[in-house]
Amino acid sequence: MKKIRFIQAALLLLFSASVSFAAQPDLKKEVIHVNSARFAAPLVERWASEYERTNPGIEIAVTTNPSTGQQEFDLYFVGPANEKEENVNQHVIYTGRYALLPVANKSNPLLNELGRKGLNSKKLEKLFFEASLSQGYDDSPEKPQQEEVTIYSGNNADSFADLFATHFGYSPADIRGKRISGNDIYLINAVQKDNTSATFNSLGYLFDTETRELKSGLVLLPLDLKKEQQETLKSANVDQTIALLEKESIALIPVGRIGFAYQSENASAKRFLNWVLEEGQKYNREFGFLKTEPDLLAAQLKETKEPHYSAVY
């Protein structure tokens, strides 16, 4: 009996030791802990791996679920869930942008109804929101077809619903239709299986990053834009779309920023951010992200290069 217990204890110890050993980082490397939203994780991981390649003494540990494991991070992701929050103790560096486009199931009869001109602001609001601001001025009888469109939107704290609603002057609670609980990537699944559906999502989720085309079963809802802008969007190519949005701001397309918050005295984190701003921007487009605006980029480069002095009296 005692022997059995002894064997069991030995096995347990052995297992624990092996797990602990496997979990030990390379003692020679400095680890920068970074958390990220899921939709930006592929880009962040690319930045990390490229940075590690050029800085062998650094390891970047990227976590997308802060509720498990690592609780303290050198870099905290700033995105849809917390972009507006201010923390005076932290600096924020914006390292990219994401854009939201409205899409529908490609069999949605709404597409025929919209015609060539596409959605202007008034129609877009009427389609997506429960109580459109413009309805007060529109006394034309409502079109029953629009009633049949099912709008899907995200319900999670880091959903794009907040940016989309606030961009048009609404609250996320004003968005019509059904909600999904889970990451916004599931909005794609929801739209693909419901031919009455429409939604909005980030380019990184809407486009296949391999083929650079829209994911199957989706079609961009036409927007009432300039002809050349419409043509670009009609191409349904993520690179052309990003190029257009980096060139000019379009009122009907909400654009938000992603970035990281860090403690000013964290030099390693700051160096990594400086690298992302200087070298990492070229990876943004690959994952459906826009580069940081040039003016902001320049200012942030300056901020991340200069040592931060704190005076003591």
Task: Provide CB contacts within 8 A for 24, sequence distance 6+.
Answer: none
Task: Provide CB contacts within 8 A for 207, sequence distance 6+.
Answer: 213, 214, 215, 238, 241, 288
CB of 99 to other proteins, least distance (A): 21
CB of 152 to other proteins, least distance (A): 8
Phi, psi dihedral angles at 258 (to 5 degrees): -120, 155
Bridge partner list, 197? 150
The residue (of 173 and 311) whose beta carbon lies closer to other proteins is: 173
Task: Provide CB contacts within 8 A for 78, sequence distance 6+.
Answer: 92, 94, 257, 258, 259, 260, 261
CB of 146 to other proteins, least distance (A): 11
Q: Parallel, antiparallel, or unpaired: how do β-strands 91-105 and 218-220 relate?
A: antiparallel
* Residues 182-211, interacting with other proteins (CB under 8 A): 182-183, 186, 189-190
The residue (of 65 and 211) whose beta carbon lies closer to other proteins is: 65
The residue (of 96 and 154) whose beta carbon lies closer to other proteins is: 154
Rounded to whole angstroms, what are the CA distances from 80 to 178, 196, 259? 20, 27, 10
Bridge partner list, 199? 103
CB of 179 to other proteins, least distance (A): 4
**# residues near other proteins by CB under 8 A:** 36
Which of 4, 27, 311, 312 binds other proteins (CB under 8 A)? It is 4
CB of 170 to other proteins, least distance (A): 4
Which of 39, 47, 77, 152 binds other proteins (CB under 8 A)? It is 152
H helix or E strand, kind and range, residue 117: none
Cα 132 from Cα 126, distance rounded (Å):
5
CB 255 within 8 A of CB 97: yes
Cα 227 from Cα 295, distance rounded (Å):
28
CB of 184 to other proteins, least distance (A): 10
* Residues 84-143, interacting with other proteins (CB under 8 A): 130-133, 135-136, 139, 141-142
**Tokens describing residue 195:** 């031919």
Give the per-residue contact string, 156-175, with other proteins (x = CB under 8 A; - = no): xx-------xx--xxxxxx-
Which of 46, 178, 212, 215 binds other proteins (CB under 8 A)? It is 178
Q: Does 281 bind other proteins (CB under 8 A)?
A: no
CB of 145 to other proteins, least distance (A): 11
* Residues 45-84, interacting with other proteins (CB under 8 A): 65
CB of 135 to other proteins, least distance (A): 6
The residue (of 145 and 209) whose beta carbon lies closer to other proteins is: 145
Return the residue matching tokens 């994911």: 215
Phi, psi dihedral angles at 241 (to 5 degrees): -65, -45
Helix boundaries (H) for 259-306: 267-278, 294-305
The residue (of 146 and 264) whose beta carbon lies closer to other proteins is: 146
The residue (of 37 and 60) whose beta carbon lies closer to other proteins is: 37
H helix or E strand, kind and range, residue 259: strand 255-262
Contact residues toward other proteins (CB under 8 A) are: 1-4, 65, 130-133, 135-136, 139, 141-142, 144, 152, 155-157, 165-166, 169-174, 178-183, 186, 189-190
